[in-house]
Amino acid sequence: MFVDEVMLKVVAGSGGDGCTAFRREKYIPMGGPYGGNGGHGSDIIFKVDEGLHTLLDLRYQKEIKGKKGENGKGKNQHGKGADSLVIKVPQGTVVTDLDTGLILADLKGKNDEAIIAKGGRGGRGNTAFKTQTNTAPNFSENGEPGEKRTIKVELKLLADVGLVGLPSVGKSTIISKVSKAKPKIAEYHFTTLKPNLGVVRATNGKTFVMADLPGLIEGASKGEGLGDRFLRHIERTRVILHVIDMAGTEGRDPYDDYLLINKELEDFNKKLLTKPMVIIANKMDIDGAKENLDKFKEKVKDKKIFEVTALTNSGLVQVVDYLSDLLDTIKEENLYEDDAFESHVLYKFKEEKPFTIEKEGDDFIIKGEKVEKLFKMTKFTDEGIKRFSNKLRKMGIDDELEKMGAVDGDMVRILDFYFEYHK
């Protein structure tokens, strides 16, 4: 089964918890802190596997979850980090964060891989908190939570040339004649239900990859027919090969067909019409095709047009050789703008408050990534609570609560946990 789009949740592993421990030796009954740090949680990594050609393996997975790092131990023993969880995907896979719209990865190289969700760092053991003023800290940290994302995984086929056209214009016949691809061919619409890839060899010995896509119809870019599912695969192609039934065997006008397909390409992605386009005038052995071609050429003067009868192989060698030479002059373009990728966004300065406070009824609700992470990593021992309170105070949360009218005994919530406010 060909699957080219999957939605799922990825949860990287949390870091291991730090340990609170003290040295206990025969002649050192009250030694210093001796608790080790927790290990790093497992990253979620997507890696290209050339043997895969579909996202079928991910289709029935609702969630991919990494392992937690090992907890720290006494005697300053640090917990072992969890191994990365590597998910194999086909070449041409694009991963998007659905919450932000950012592109996390475009895995188009044979050895490409990318971290989709980062594992949390291990919590620090009490040894890490030893200072000149606190020589025996009695607290440690929980491990940092791993990143959570809801993602869309798309497969966009890697092909040099993409065949487009209305149903039954001869695309499948063409790719079957110029390559070893064996698509289903029949005299009815939508016999091609999945993209077909074929390696094409020119007379000069050079090869390139051609993709046969299911036929497009009017409204394909908006979900009509099958086209909207497969138009994404044309985005990576360097040349568009537009196949037209020049005989008009179904009573259609070839020029109208040409305009219709171009409009669907434009509606899906305007950049598609900037790609080099070569036209195949197919079914030239049928009555009326020559006359239609003459009329067509009067209206379309800026495209290379080849006369072809795919059924008998007539004209296809010339098409293949021309495409081979043309591809030598065209560089591979970036599918996405640089600022679409998260890696480019992560390092942009963005000024935002470390927390927000809202009032719901009589309660005060504290929100913010920084304060929520601090809460999750706090072990609520006596010393841990004291440290947590000091951190909140330094962040300015106490001052903000006072400005908002909080008084002793008011309830303050962080995530699903409630605390009493006291000055």
| CA separation for the pair 357, 359 (Å, rounded) | 7
In this structure, the answer to whether residues 60 and 85 fall within a common structural domain is yes
Q: Which CATH number do you get for residue 264?
A: 3.40.50.300
What value does the mean pLDDT take over residues 82-88? 96
Higher pLDDT, 94 or 193: 94
In this structure, the answer to whether residues 187 and 123 fall within a common structural domain is no
CA 411 vs. chain centroid, Å, equals 41
CA 60 vs. chain centroid, Å, equals 17
In this structure, the answer to whether residues 67 and 141 fall within a common structural domain is yes
State pLDDT tens for residues 99-146: 988 889 999 888 899 999 999 999 999 999 998 888 889 999 999 999
* The token pair that represents 379 in the structure block: 């072990």
Q: What is the CA radius of gyration of the chain?
A: 31
CA 110 vs. chain centroid, Å, equals 17
* The token pair that represents 8 in the structure block: 């799922």
Q: Answer yes or no: is 368 within a domain.
A: yes
| CA separation for the pair 33, 379 (Å, rounded) | 16
* The token pair that represents 299 in the structure block: 């209206």
Residue 189 is part of which domain span?
161-327
Q: Report CA-CA distances (Å) from 97 to 67, 105, 154, 176, 388.
A: 21, 10, 12, 38, 32
In this structure, the answer to whether residues 168 and 149 fall within a common structural domain is no
Q: Answer yes or no: is 280 within a domain.
A: yes
Higher pLDDT, 63 or 26: 63
State pLDDT tens for residues 371-399: 998 999 999 888 888 889 998 999 999 99
Closest-CA residue to 272 (of 226, 312, 227, 225): 227
Q: Answer yes or no: is 279 within a domain.
A: yes
What is the share, in percent, of the chain residues with pLDDT greater than 70?
A: 87
State pLDDT tens for residues 319-360: 999 999 999 998 876 665 555 555 444 434 444 567 899 998
In this structure, the answer to whether residues 131 and 171 fall within a common structural domain is no
Can you give the pTM of this predicted structure? 0.71
| CA separation for the pair 300, 261 (Å, rounded) | 14
Closest-CA residue to 136 (of 217, 49, 225, 33): 33
* The token pair that represents 7 in the structure block: 């939605």
Residues with Cβ < 8 Å from 3, sequence gap 6 or more?
54, 55, 56, 58, 59, 155
* The token pair that represents 67 in the structure block: 């392992």
| CA separation for the pair 84, 43 (Å, rounded) | 5
One-letter amino acid at 74 equals: G
Contact (Cβ atoms closer than 8 angstroms) between residue 86 and residue 105: no
Q: Which CATH number do you get for residue 394?
A: 3.30.300.350
Q: What is the pLDDT of residue 11?
A: 97
Closest-CA residue to 9 (of 151, 155, 115, 147): 151
Q: Answer yes or no: is 152 within a domain.
A: yes
- 223 — pLDDT class (breaks 50, 70, 90): very low
In this structure, the answer to whether residues 182 and 268 fall within a common structural domain is yes
Q: What is the pLDDT of residue 36?
A: 96
